[in-house]
Chain A
């Protein structure tokens, strides 16, 4: 007779549910046709990550995490999407239309690669009764699907958003596995993100200035 898996505690259940929202948003980004909606989804995903930080802080009694949540909210929910949206408005390009594959195919590939992520996370020797182990697999899946987003969509915005959301996946993993991680390390992550925004901002501007489009399809044409 099979044995039912134990019911997770409310803490791990809640943490995993939020991590799940992060993963589903990543999938939504993969299929979102408009660059604008991709960025809004990124803002929503960051909101979920901030909520996760608050949730972990409240249930595990780690007050530093409130500061982290405040930082990540201002930076990733307000500032970064605001800047990228403004850049987009200047570029006046709406529809990315950059799918290399059909949407259903992309989703199926992404499902496959998340399965791989789950198996990898399951193989890691990180086991603890207080740890929401599924969240680790979810974070791994977020990271892998973010890679897929960068690979399968050929426009600059997708690549930027893919990179930013990669950082969200790492945040989820670090919040869940090492919620006591020194605040300074987390803030350094966020600072990294700020640098990336500047780099991608310059990239978008230069790319749009050269080719009049945000698609990277034009880049493999040689200029002579």
Chain B
């Protein structure tokens, strides 16, 4: 059989589709594992797909006085989550043309725009819990931002660019590169950032129905029907994107397609899913072994992420580590 060469643009479509199609699967797999660890049978792995299908069939209810922002925001957020996979190494080890469009900060801005849209919609809805959630999400988002900046600085010092593809290539290049303290620290700090951004313990109990402890979850309380489905799907995609960044850029950038061959790209998909489930399993174990921090103790969590990130820059800048 002759190898089929894909055009770079086709591979990029593949990347976006991988994220869109498999994000609910990753969420479902993690929820299933979590239930198993707690001794419950748990939902089916495919349950998120059924949930989405159900929500798309339901009617949309809009709170009184809510304007067009409320309706548009879920679509904006979903679009943002579809743009980010164009910038990051999802399936291939070599940079794709659109990958030069934005660096790590660019990706973070687009994710931030999505978060901003959802927060705006929550504020527009007038629901007290949604507003509480959006205000908290913005506050803690601002507190975690310095860590992200310092992680970017570390990447920039190591690779002299801040493109995720080059960081992944640098990590792949040698064991010394992987074991160097600056990289370990940056990876660990990014792990904490992901923990915060995906709303996991110790920051947030993601499956809780108690509104007072909610941060990200509370923002979508007022949405219903297809709009809510888009938000749910979007948050699954955000989680998958962050997992991809964590494994494919920092922790284990191996098993990616090395050529534009169709077979190689297709093989990269199950490998990526396996890695995402691996990360998800780690998060689940953390979820089950720690308790949620009190809201006002969250600054300690942010401070520790900041500590790791700033130490990464220091070790690199002053010690060459």
Question: Chain A interface (Cβ within 8 Å of chain B)?
Answer: 1-10, 12-14, 16-17, 19-20, 23-24, 27, 31, 103-104, 107-108, 110-111, 114-115, 118-119, 121-122, 132-138
Within the complex, the shortest CB–CB distance from B270 to chain A, in Å, comes to 32
- B312's nearest neighbour on chain A, judged by CB, is A20
Chain A residue numbers with a CB within 8 Å of B320 are 5-6, 8, 133-134
Which of B174, B181, B306 neighbours the largest number of chain A CB atoms within 10 Å of its CB?
B181
Top-5 shortest CB links A-B:
A134-B319, A134-B321, A104-B303, A118-B318, A13-B179
16 contacts between A and B (CB under 8 A): A1-B160, A5-B316, A12-B321, A27-B307, A110-B307, A111-B311, A118-B318, A119-B318, A121-B318, A132-B321, A134-B319, A135-B321, A137-B315, A137-B319, A138-B315, A138-B319
Of chain B, the residue at the smallest CB distance from A12 is: B321
Instruction: Report whether B157 and A118 are in contact in the complex, using a CB–CB cutoff of 8 Å.
Output: no
Query: In the complex where A5-B157, A7-B180, A10-B179 touch, is A104 in contact with B300 (Cβ < 8 A)?
Result: yes
Q: Name the B residues within 8 Å of A136 (CB-CB).
A: 319
- Contacting pair B179 A14 (CB below 8 A): yes
Q: Which of B232-248 contact A (CB under 8 A)?
A: none
How many of chain B's residues touch chain A, expressed as a range? 20 to 34
Contacts A14-B179, A134-B181 given: A20-B307 contact, CB under 8 Å? Answer: no
A188 to B190, CA, bound (A): 42
Cα A135 to Cα B315 with chains together (Å): 9
8 Å CB contact of B175 from A4, A10, A103, A110: A10
Interchain CA distance A16-B184 in the complex, whole Å? 11
Query: Do the beta carbons of B176 and A20 come within 8 Å of each other?
Result: no
Is there contact, CB below 8 Å, between A118 and B319? yes
B297, B308, B310, B318 pick with most chain A CB within 10 angstroms: B318
Chain A hits for B176, CB < 8 A: 7-10, 13
- Contact across chains for A134 and B158 when beta carbons are under 8 A apart: no
* Complex partner residue of B303 from A12, A17, A108, CB under 8 angstroms: A108
Supplied contacts A104-B303, A132-B319, 12 more A-B pairs, CB within 8 Å: A4-B159, A5-B157, A5-B158, A5-B320, A7-B174, A13-B180, A114-B314, A121-B319, A122-B319, A133-B320, A134-B320, A138-B319
B181 touches A16 (CB 8 A): yes
B288, CB-defined interface residue at 8 Å: no
How long is the Cα–Cα vector from A137 to B160 in the complex, in angstroms? 23
Chain A contacts for B174, CB-based, 8 A? 7
Give chain B's interface residues, CB within 8 Å of chain A. Answer: 157-160, 173-177, 179-181, 184-185, 297, 299-300, 302-304, 306-308, 310-311, 314-316, 318-321
Cα separation A114 to B311 with both chains bound (whole Å): 9
Whether the pair B311, A13 counts as a contact (CB closer than 8 A) is no
A12 to B142, CA, bound (A): 35
CA distance A182 to B209 in the complex (A): 62
Q: Please, which residue of chain B has its CB at the minimum distance from the CB of A134? A: B319
CB distance from A178 to the nearest CB of B (A): 18
A119 CA to B165 CA, complexed, in Å: 32
| Cα distance, A17 to B182, chains bound together (Å) | 9
Contact with B321, one of A4, A13, A27, A31 (Cβ below 8 angstroms): A13
Q: In the assembled complex, which residues on chain B have CB atoms less than 8 Å from the CB atom of A16?
A: 180-181, 315, 319, 321
A118–B316 CA distance with the chains assembled, in angstroms: 11
Q: Which of B159, B308, B315 contacts A134 (CB 8 A)?
A: B315
Chain B residues contacting A23 (CB-CB under 8 Å) are: 311
**Chain B contacts for A20, CB-based, 8 A:** 181, 184-185, 311, 315
Contacts of A2 in B (CB 8 A): 160
